[in-house]
Amino acid sequence: IDRKIFHVPGDEMNEWLAKHSFHSITNENDVEIKGRPCYKGITTGKVFIPKNLEDLQNIPEQSILVMPMTTIDVIKYLNNVIGIITDEGGVTCHAAIISREMKIPCIVGAKNATAILKNGDQVLLDAISGVVKKLVL
């Protein structure tokens, strides 16, 4: 699978951001989604929030998986995933470990990501700074 993951240093990142229009994801309290990066990287893709374990069988290609937390059941379905965001967890949680092993940019402990994001939202997952932003392309 060709994962759309890229690492861009300093000035090159500023150039990339200047070419893309985006705004911070906010809720009624104007809260940006922030968490702890576990496997560093920056990627863009569409959000996929499974409602149950059966939904995991239908993850679209190039998706960013958003869940309260991951479990061992998720591993076999990660081939189409280019990023992971969880509401809960820290650097030793399941999502953190599998993201490092599979080299998938990941942010954990994002608290309200599943409440703010919707299926199909196009996002920038910045797992260097630990911020998720909704893209308006």
- 94: annotated active-site residue: yes
Give the C-alpha distances (Å, rounded to integers) separating 4 from 27, 92, 104: 27, 25, 10
Cα gap 84→15, rounded to integer Å: 25
DSSP 79-124: GGEEEEEESS--TTSHHHHHHHHHT--EEE--SSHHHH--TT-EEE
Q: How many residues belong to the chain?
A: 137
Give the active site residue among 7, 20, 23, 94.
Answer: 94
Cα gap 48→21, rounded to integer Å: 21
Catalytic residues: 94
